[in-house]
Structure 1
Amino acid sequence: MMQARESGGRWEMDCIEIETVAEALERSVIFHVVKEIIGYVLYMHQQIPDVLQDLCLEFDRLQSESKILEVVLSQMEMKSSCRRKHNGRLRDLKKGIRKLEKLMNSIASLQTAMQQVLNEIPDIQEVILVLGSNPVRPQHVYEMCFSHGKITTEVTNDFTKCKAAEALSRKAIRSLISKGAASMPYGGTTKLFILVKAPSTFNLPVHFLPKRDFRYSKKIVPCRLHIKCRIRGQGMDASQHSPQTACPIKSPDSSSIDLIWFQCRHTIKGLASTTPQIKE
């Protein structure tokens, strides 16, 4: 289990460190790590009824079957009893789609926003997930820090999940589970907010709004995750964390850049769910 300690008037959890042998963190790797942790947080806090991957597959299946059934009903002559049966099935499918549609659309919008910010800032260092009705007074906070190591220039904006992204995502989720993160489920439905730290000149108003003075309640004990490349000179002591920041390590020229928080305009509102079973 994770241990809490007091620092600067705030109780903090020990930071979970995860190393990758890669020389650099590609934007697609960061995207999928954030995506998987979002899914983990939503599931473990009972905001979705199943793991995110299975939920996406179920939603796609409902949509596909619904379209096929609509074509069958419009093109085929059939007995009235058979038509009633198909119409009943179609109603059930559409009911299932309506139940998941808003959730899946908000997840898709949030993922698009993350891809856009990573296209603009591939060496992003800090991301915060906030679970609660209000980001300033949350129920749970997950802070992610990315130490990039070697700076590379990617020529494509491909966010396909590669083996490196899958391996690092699994390692992150397993670390969270082993440390007992999200072991206290949230009672009732709530919202998930995401914030990223970026230069003050960052401008993507369709997806992000500046929150320069963002700070959440000191009563909240954040879960901190530090993902870093295994490069000499980038070791980290969790005691270096300062309150309200997920990342103690800065790039060489970061001191000359005005970094502020930006809140994603897309939030995820949870669905009523039962106590989850841990899945990796």
Structure 2
Amino acid sequence: MEKGGGSSEMELTTVEIAAERIERSMMYNLVMDVLGFVLFMYQQIPSILQDVSLEFDALNSEHKDLEVVLAETEMRAAQRRIQMARKRQVKHGIRTLEKLMKCVANTQTALQMVFSEIPSVEAVILVLGASPNRPRHVYELCFSHGKDDVSNGCDFTKTRAAEGISRKVIRTLVSKGAGSDSYAGPSKLFLLVKAPSSLSLPLHFLPKRDFRYNKKIVPMRLRIKCRNQDRETHSLNCGPNNTFDSTSNDYIWFQCRHVIKGLPSKTTPEE
């Protein structure tokens, strides 16, 4: 049993899926869904990530419409004041959300690139806290891939199978107490992937070969495994505070350059 960081192989929960392999698009969508879950459950965003994204798009659309109306439409002074007040309100909402949405979009791009580059990402870590080395919460997703993904392309559109996997994983996280802590103010979400050391995506990821976090933190660790897959051991030691086994020597941690900073509590576009 490995020691370090309060984590051990025995504390890794296996989630089995009914598939012969975990496709790259499934991994991408799962990571993004868990990322959104962590942000929402720890009150870093005012609603689920999909709703925040839709609200941001709606605000941008409304702002453009208001600019057209104010520029081209003759109206009474009182009506113009109302429209101008709404425009300021909408603009404030956009400013509140735009940095968050830009960071989320950059993270999506980075993940798509890494999953497009290689089919064998072994693990992903989501760290909520002041820095990756000083986390408040750590979530580890370890992948036992099953049959090799031999496809050349990668379509990241979410499928029913991907939705089912995300629901199962998030239910497991909730059953283990994820998000049960009280709100402790805005924080930062960091993302790291365990991938072959040959990975080169300097615009999006930096190698963190010696990555470690505070040993007092007990991570929430899930192993995603195909139901009919033979037992594998190489993904069990995925934690950064564990010693890699012989089959993982060519894998190191890469930290995503894009950091998602949470919003103040109860922030809404209308405030």
Q: TM-score, normalised by structure 2?
A: 0.90
In 2, are the aligned partners of 1:125 and 1:145 still within 8 Å (CA)?
yes
Tell me: CA distance 1:113–1:175, structure 2 relative to 1, closer, same or farther (3 Å).
same
Secondary structure of 2:25's aligned partner: helix
Written as runs of structure 1 = structure 2, the 5 A alignment for 1:1-280 is 8-12=3-7, 14-234=11-231, 241=237, 244=240, 255=247, 258-274=250-266
In 2, are the aligned partners of 1:15 and 1:225 still within 8 Å (CA)?
yes
**Deviation for aligned residue 1:182:** 2.4
Equivalent-residue separation in structure 2 for 1:52 and 1:59 (angstroms):
10
Tell me: CA distance 1:48–1:89, structure 2 relative to 1, closer, same or farther (3 Å).
same
**Deviation for aligned residue 1:7:** 5.7
In 1, are the aligned partners of 2:46 and 2:265 still within 8 Å (CA)?
yes
Equivalent-residue separation in structure 2 for 1:11 and 1:197 (angstroms):
20
Tell me: CA distance 1:46–1:10, structure 2 relative to 1, closer, same or farther (3 Å).
same
**Deviation for aligned residue 1:145:** 0.4
Equivalent-residue separation in structure 1 for 2:86 and 2:243 (angstroms):
51
In 2, are the aligned partners of 1:20 and 1:227 still within 8 Å (CA)?
yes
Q: TM-score, normalised by structure 1?
A: 0.87
Secondary structure of 2:217's aligned partner: coil
Tell me: CA distance 1:242–1:166, structure 2 relative to 1, closer, same or farther (3 Å).
closer
1:103-156 per-residue CA deviation (whole Å, 9 max, x = no partner) reads: 110011011100000001122111111111111111111111011101122233
Q: How many pairs align?
A: 263
Equivalent-residue separation in structure 2 for 1:101 and 1:82 (angstroms):
28
Letter in 2 for 1:182: G
Letter in 2 for 1:64: S
Structure 1: gaps (5+ residues) = 1-5, 275-280
1:69-100 per-residue CA deviation (whole Å, 9 max, x = no partner) reads: 11111121222221111111111000000001
Secondary structure of 2:124's aligned partner: strand
Runs of 4+ aligned structure 1 residues displaced above 6 Å come to: 245-248
Equivalent-residue separation in structure 1 for 2:223 and 2:16 (angstroms):
8
RMSD: 2.3
Tell me: CA distance 1:232–1:85, structure 2 relative to 1, closer, same or farther (3 Å).
closer
Structure 2: gaps (5+ residues) = 267-271
In 1, are the aligned partners of 2:133 and 2:213 still within 8 Å (CA)?
yes
